[in-house]
Amino acid sequence: MSFNSFGRVFRFSTWGESHGPAIGAVVDGCPPGLTLSEADLQPWLDKRRPGQSRFTTQRREPDEVRILSGVFEGRTTGTPIALQIENVDQRSKDYSEVAAKYRPGHADYAYDAKYGFRDPRGGGRSSARETASRVAAGGVARLVIPEVRIRAYLVELGGIAIDRNRFDDAEIDNNPFFCPDAIVAAEWEAALDAARKSGSSLGAVVECVASGVPAGWGAPLYAKLDGELAAAMMSINAVKGVEIGDGFGAARLRGEENADPMCPGANGPTFLSNHAGGVAGGISTGQEVVVRIALKPTSSILTPVETVTREGQATEIVTKGRHDPCVGIRAAPVAEAMMALVLADQKLLHRAQIG
């Protein structure tokens, strides 16, 4: 019921602001006896880390995670795991303009409307900086589901989609876009360079696939696997849409096209297609779990936009500073983390009820 916690049995809570001294997460309900050290988490954080190409914010954060509790002699004890990441490169000296004017597309106005005031330094709590905590927590979650392999990549950037026939898993880590299609990656580079130079930004679509999920995970009706994934993914900054399997495309199919036929397989029934994205009735079917999320273009742009001051006067704003021209890129490791966190929780929930 906490506002800043997610999960039911395997549960994490995050805290921290963009320009505070640190951010962190507390993971609760983790099974005991799992081998865990900072070295298990750091690679995931490194993947999300800013400043690794000219296509992400130039803020320099080492994003070194520390484990402050819940581990003894290298193994989880079953007690809460506190994870902490220092904010090193805050540079919040000058936030007077952001404090005084609402940036359209940002949470500024909504936060003021809700809380009466806000921490304007780097977006405060509404900054995507918080997602580093999720990625750390997601690293713990991965240890709970060793049977599952999770992979996120971009399938669209600035309206340019990949060609599924050129999909190459090995390509994903070969370019700064987590793009599985080398040819389209080059197009994205050009498009994003152009957008960046013109002071604009682009949106993206990220696909996240989990393989190895056994049939039976998911807790219908209001803790359905797809419902939990929808909530998890929609909670990521800038996400405006979530699809499972064919998603909106399924609405354009006929019944016989959309139903995934089944046939006998070596290890039980198998499916001849996966329009459902691995979930039926809110429960995993044993197929790949496929989620796609739409990310809007960053609202932090150099193009001036009409807005109002806190006092309600008309004005204009140009959002300077160090921003990702396409937040969709760094959302890929965050989507992986959220997938891991949901699946770890569902695995434990399943075990609770079914044994």
Q: How far is the CB of 27 from a second copy (least distance, A)?
A: 9
Looking only at residues 34 through 73 of this chain, which bind a second copy when binding is defined by CB under 8 A?
68-70, 72
Half-sphere exposure of 72 toward its Cβ, with a 13 Å CA cutoff? Answer: 6
Q: Is 250 in the site for a second copy (CB under 8 A)?
A: yes
| 333 known member of a binding site | no
Instruction: Give the C-alpha separation, 101 to 103, whole Å.
Output: 6
**Cβ nearer to a second copy, comparing 6 with 44:** 6
Backbone dihedral region of 144: left (phi > 0), alpha (psi from -120 to 50 degrees) or beta?
A: alpha
Binding mask 278-307 for a second copy (x = CB under 8 A): -xxxxxxxx-------xxxxxxxx-x-xxx
146 binds a second copy (CB under 8 A): no
Q: Should residue 324 be labelled a site residue for a second copy when binding is judged by CB under 8 A?
A: no
Question: From CA 347, how far away is CA 351, in angstroms rounded?
Answer: 6
**CB under 8 A: which stretch of 38-46, 50-58, 176-184, 243-251 binds a second copy?**
243-251
Q: Is 167 a residue that touches a second copy (CB under 8 A)? A: no
Interface with a second copy includes 33 (CB under 8 A)?
yes
Whether 323 and 190 have beta carbons less than 8 Å apart is answered as: no
Q: Candidates 38-46, 52-60, 166-174, 308-316 — which segment interacts with a second copy by CB under 8 A?
A: 308-316
Identify the residue among 122, 138, 139, 158 touching a second copy (CB under 8 A).
158
Residue 109, interface with a second copy (CB under 8 A)?
yes
Contact predicate 335/152, CB 8 Å: yes
Please tell me whether residue 218 binds a second copy under the rule CB under 8 A: yes
Query: Is residue 140 near a second copy by the rule CB under 8 A?
Result: no
Q: What does the block give as tokens for 230?
A: 């929808």
* By CB under 8 A, residue 95 contacts a second copy: no
78-81: long-range contacts (C-beta < 8 A, 24 or more apart)? Answer: 78/30, 78/31, 78/32, 78/33, 80/26, 80/27, 80/28, 81/26, 81/27, 81/28, 81/30, 81/36, 81/140
Among 50, 122, 124, 333, the residue binding a second copy under the rule CB under 8 A is 124
**Residues of span 194-213 touching a second copy by CB under 8 A:** 195, 200-205
Cα distance between residue 233 and residue 71, in whole Å: 29
The residues near 252 (Cβ < 8 Å, ≥ 6 apart) are none
| Residue indicated by tokens 């060793």 | 146
The tally of CA atoms less than 13 A away on the side-chain side of residue 192 is 26
Report the residue from 105, 176, 212, 321 that binds a second copy according to the rule CB under 8 A.
Answer: 105
Q: Determine the size of the site formed for a second copy (CB under 8 A).
A: 153
The window from 34-42, 166-174, 181-189, 258-266 that contacts a second copy (CB under 8 A) reads: 258-266
